[in-house]
Amino acid sequence: MSGTAVFPAIVLGDRFARELPELAIAWRAERAPDPRLLVLNGPLAERLGLDPAWLRGPDGLALLTGAQLPEGARPVAQGYAGHQFGGYSPRLGDGRALLLGELADPDGRPVDLHLKGSGRTPFARGGDGLAAVGPMLREYVVSEAMHALGIPTTRSLAVVATGARVQRETELPGAVLARVAASHLRVGSFQYARATDDLDLLRRLADHAIDRHHPAAAAAEHPYRALYAAVVDAQARLIAQWMLVGFVHGVMNTDNMTISGESIDFGPCAFLDAFDPATVFSSIDEGGRYAYGNQPAVGQWNLARLAEALLPLLADDEQDAVAVATELLGGYAPAYRAVYAAGLRRKFGLPDGLPDGLEDAVAGTLIDQALTQMEQSRVDFTGFFRDLAAAARGDAEPARSRFLDLAAFDDWLARWRALDPDPDAMGRVNPVYIPRNHLVEQALAAAVDGDLDPLHHLLAAVTDPYRARPGFERYADPAPEDFGDYRTFCGT
Ligand code: AMP
Ligand code: MG
């Protein structure tokens, strides 16, 4: 498959295509008329054994746009189904994306190298197969910020402007995102396999998922039950971590929920500024199905759809299988609560165990009261915890000034300080810099106009999020008043 490009010892595996041909359609990327690199993730490239200098050159760009691939590569569009806003679509799949193949991470584990915006595929339906520069850079920024926050996520390797024009509400410059993931298996992959009524395919898919993501399940008495339990646990943890940083995914359809437990598909996503569980950013989420505070429940709903797809593997008898699935899904809420409660406690600088088993009575109630006050005063979720650490060091004014009911907050503060919160520990878990919506919008708009400096500054801030640095003050500030009610659009 190589043309004129020289590929220095890059091997792109074809394991997915080989093991699951029913879920893979061999396909090639559309040619980018005038490829131009916008951003490259040098450290990630090196982790994957790719030379950043080479990737920046013409042969590297040929790889990053799918124009030419190493010998033996078998790029495919992946098939999957999905519930979108609750409605089932039996055939979604990579309409504008391609799995180029598998690379190895430094531990030898396979990771997918995948393109988004690489042209129409047989799954494109009415879509044009393309992506615009802005949304691909948004995915780059948010996924790398999530990674820096220690949250499992797909990574972004590069965004290349294609030179093509993309018609959305207006005409926009096109781009291809190269991303890296533990895999692109989704709840929707299992729904797709299940809908074929081919039990052997479903089993092969489950075996593939166990081997790649949850290998301990292979040794369990019931490997497929253990697989399901592991996905339930991984997603409970993931969504708890989203909640702890104020992340709103925006499109938690079952085709956007991974089996690995990584965050994926950063479309109309955004981070909370004011703490309010009803926050919705996506312009298409009119009912607030994917509001910040609904995410834990939606995760559970999606996992119930995964259980339905897996039923034939959970027990021979369907009623038994439903009982098994129900019991395993019952692990979701406690797993979520454990990670969320421990995470909140760390955000508030409180130790894991208080004397006399007072934890829940003291810390739990205190934290609930703080969240209520934060919601009432529309307190900036990220900024508050940094100011609270300052309050633990003796400077309470920045935190106090965020609240409308000062008497209530002062009362709360006195009771919190009595628990001896640890400001240094707070500094390690509460980020200074998140990809704030107004900064993301500014950086993307500048990039579309040819100025990449704001994007690089933003990336410098959010990829090192816990260390306050001079020169980055405005990256820690909330949006200016005139930024208004933020909406992200699904013209991705
Ligand atoms: P997403 O909302 O990005 O998760 O995509 C949902 C589904 O729509 C997936 O099957 C995508 O491949 C498909 N899709 C989204 N945008 C396009 C596009 N511009 N062209 C073709 N397919 C698309
Ligand atoms: Mg998607």
The domains of the chain are located at: 15-181, 185-432+476-492
Burial category of 400 from C-beta neighbours within 10 Å (exposed 0-12, middle 13-18, buried 19 and up): middle
Query: What pLDDT score does 351 carry?
Result: 84
Catalytic residues: 255
Q: Which atom of ligand 1 is nearest to the CA of 131?
A: 19
Percent helix, strand and coil across the chain, each rounded to 5?
A: 45, 15, 40
Q: Which atom of ligand 1 is nearest to the CA of 490?
A: 2
Regarding the beta carbon of 93 and ligand 1, being less than 6 Å apart is answered yes
Please give the average pLDDT of every successive group of 10 residues along the chain, which has 492 residues.
72 97 98 98 97 97 97 97 97 98 95 98 97 98 98 98 97 98 98 98 98 98 99 99 98 98 97 96 94 98 98 98 98 97 95 66 87 98 98 98 98 96 98 97 97 98 98 94 75 55
Query: What pLDDT score does 352 carry?
Result: 77
Q: Which atom of ligand 1 is nearest to the CA of 97?
A: 12
Query: What pLDDT score does 481 carry?
Result: 81
Ligand nearest to the CA of residue 98, numbered in listed order: 1
All residues at 6 or more sequence positions from 441 whose CB lies less than 8 Å from its CB, including other chains: none
Two structure tokens written together for 423: 């400001």
Alpha-carbon distance of 74 to 102, in angstroms, equals 10
Pocket probe for ligand 1: among 96, 187, 282, 489, the residue whose CB has the most ligand atoms within 8 Å is 96
Cβ proximity of 444 and 24 under 8 Å? no
Two structure tokens written together for 224: 């497929």
Query: What pLDDT score does 357 carry?
Result: 60
The single-letter code of the amino acid at 260 is S
Alpha-carbon distance of 123 to 81, in angstroms, equals 11
Alpha-carbon distance of 21 to 248, in angstroms, equals 34
pTM > 0.95: yes
All residues at 6 or more sequence positions from 317 whose CB lies less than 8 Å from its CB, including other chains: none
Alpha-carbon distance of 133 to 444, in angstroms, equals 8
Cβ proximity of 454 and 443 under 8 Å? yes
The single-letter code of the amino acid at 409 is F
Alpha-carbon distance of 292 to 294, in angstroms, equals 6
Query: What pLDDT score does 2 carry?
Result: 44
